[in-house]
Amino acid sequence: MQICPSMPLPTMEALATNINKLSPFYKYFQIDICDGIYVNNRTVQIEDIIKGYKQINNYQSSVFDFHLMVKDYETDIKKLEKLRNSITIKNVFIHFDLLPNYELLTTNYSLSIGLTLNPQDQVGDLVSRYDLKSIPTIQIMSVVPGVQGNPFIPNTLNKIEQLRVLGYKSKIFLDGAVNDKTLPYINKQKFKPDVVCPGSFLTKAKDLEENVQYLKEFKS
């Protein structure tokens, strides 16, 4: 499993501080954008990052995903099209339950746009609306999205097997409560995520180097 730290931070300063703290260990990060509407929490906004990305050390050699927990995802995608001129953006995730016109999005924008499944979303509903082969990445939420600290929901991992059985071959991400308590359980599954996104396990670590070393046990 690849490690991609999740960054649900409230301000540009907090985002830069945490990425700079982790940059000796990681070069790939997922930045959470929460609007306070789709989810209750509100984090740093893309316009803040456009103005302040140079606060991030090594931003030129880092790679970023953006997880859009926002209702108006199209406006944010347009902002990310502008931001990609300054930093490297690999994937953008929007939420399936907003039922986006996915074909239109992938036609109008050059970014790689993946879909996120919330705990209540069903794989069957996903495949009834979209061609799996057209989705470059899928992210599974193993918690109710919003704020750090929501409890891990084990049965969300069943969606990985369901997607693989249906022939989905692209990368599957797992986001939510990825830590020393849940990783052994995740690792025991027959079908594992390709990428896991630990958040507070790194950003709030009492001993960061110890936690980084622990994650290396699961890295592939």
Look up the pTM and report it: 0.97
Percentage of the chain exceeding pLDDT 90? 94
pLDDT of residue 148: 67
Which pLDDT tens digit goes with each residue over 125-159? 999 999 999 999 999 999 999 766 789 999 999 99
Q: Is the pLDDT of residue 29 over 90?
A: yes
R_g of the chain, CA atoms, integer Å: 16
Query: What residue has token string 């079908």?
Result: 191
Least confident of 9-18, 46-55, 61-70, 101-110: 101-110
Q: How confident is the model at residue 190 (pLDDT cuts 50, 70, 90)?
A: very high
Among residues 49, 97, 91, 106, the alpha carbon closest in space to that of 69 is found at 97
Q: Is the pLDDT of residue 14 over 80?
A: yes
pLDDT of residue 146: 74
Q: Is the pLDDT of residue 197 over 90?
A: yes
List of domains in the chain:
2-212 (3.20.20.70)
pLDDT of residue 219: 79
- Mean pLDDT, the chain, rounded, equals 96
> What are the distances in angstroms from CA 95 to CA 17, 39, 66, 156, 159?
27, 11, 12, 15, 15
Rounded to an integer, the average pLDDT of 25-43 is 97
| Burial grade of 163 (CB within 10 A; 0-12, 13-18, 19 or more) | buried
Which pLDDT tens digit goes with each residue over 74-107? 999 999 999 999 999 999 999 999 999 998 898 9
